[in-house]
Structure 1
Amino acid sequence: MVGAFVPVCVQCGTRSNPCRCKVVGSTLGFVAFAAAAVVEWPVGALVYLFRHMKGRRIMAHPATVVYPSVSNAIPI
């Protein structure tokens, strides 16, 4: 039997909602991070061969821009 793996991320201690825990925003942020990383990390590695700093910025983009913007957009 093969089951589907669904990532569930829980972030506690936030002040964005009364419960102080986020599940939906963190989980969707992780899924968006993984989707962006699948595309941007190989491209960043290729660019890194010629332009080191530009390649590093491309590879860091999912962690520094995609995950925080998606996670912070959904307060629950």
Structure 2
Amino acid sequence: MVGVGIAICVQCGTASNPCRCKMVGPTLGFLAFAAAAIVEWPVGTLVYCFKHMKGRRMMAHPATVVYPSVTNAIPI
């Protein structure tokens, strides 16, 4: 028997909602991060061969821009 697991991200101790716990925002943020990383990391490694700083910024984009903006946009 094969089980399928669902990754759920939980962030507790936040002041953005009354229960002080977020579940939907971090989970959707992680999914958006993974989707952006699938595209941007291979392209970033190719760009890194020619322009080091530009390639580093492209590879860091999912972690520094995509994940925080999606997570903070959803207060639940």
Q: TM-score category by the smaller chain?
A: over 0.9
**1:44-59 to 2 correspondences below 5 Å:** 44-59=44-59
Instruction: Give the TM-score of the pair, scaled to structure 2.
Output: 0.94
Is 1:31 aligned to residue 27 of structure 2? no
| Distance in 2, Cα, partners of 1:33 & 1:61 | 9
Give the length in aligned residue pairs: 76
Give 1:7 shift. 1.1
Give 5+ residue unaligned stretches, structure 1.
none
Is 1:74 aligned to residue 67 of structure 2? no
Query: Percent identity between the aligned chains?
Result: 80
Give 5+ residue unaligned stretches, structure 2.
none
Task: Give the counterpart letter for 2:18 in structure 1.
Answer: P
Instruction: Give the TM-score of the pair, scaled to structure 1.
Output: 0.94
| Distance in 2, Cα, partners of 1:41 & 1:9 | 22
